[in-house]
Amino acid sequence: MKAINLVMTRKNSIAIEFDNILPELLFDKSLTQIQDSIIYMGNKQLPLSEFFEVEIEGDCQNSEDCLINIEGDLSRVKRIGFAMNSGKIIANSNVDFHVGALMTGGHITVNGDAESYAGREMTGGTLEIKGNVKEFCGSSYAGEWRGMSGGQIIIHGNVGKQLADFMLDGKIHIRGNCDILAGVHMSGGFIQIDGNVTQWIGGQMKKGIIVLNGKIDSMLPGFVFQEIVHNPLINGQYFIGKYRLYSGDRGVNGKGQIWIKE
Residue 48 lies in a domain: yes
Note whether residue 185 is domain-resident.
no
Structural domain that includes position 47: 1-102
Cross-strand bridge partners of residue 7: 53, 71
- What does the pLDDT average to over 103-131? 98
Which band of pLDDT confidence, cut at 50, 70 and 90, is reported for residue 50? very high
Query: pTM to 2 decimals?
Result: 0.96
Q: Is residue 165 part of a domain?
A: no
Strands 207-212 and 187-193, sheet pairing: parallel
The answer to the question of residue 142 being in a domain is no
Point out the least confidently predicted range of 142-151, 186-195, 222-231. Answer: 142-151
Q: Does any domain span residue 162? A: no
Residue 210 lies in a domain: no
Please spell the DSSP secondary structure of 139-163, one letter per residue: -PPTT-----EEEEEEESS-B-SST
Q: How many domains does the chain have?
A: 1
Is residue 204 one of the residues assigned to a domain?
no
- Whether 258 maps to a domain, the answer reads no
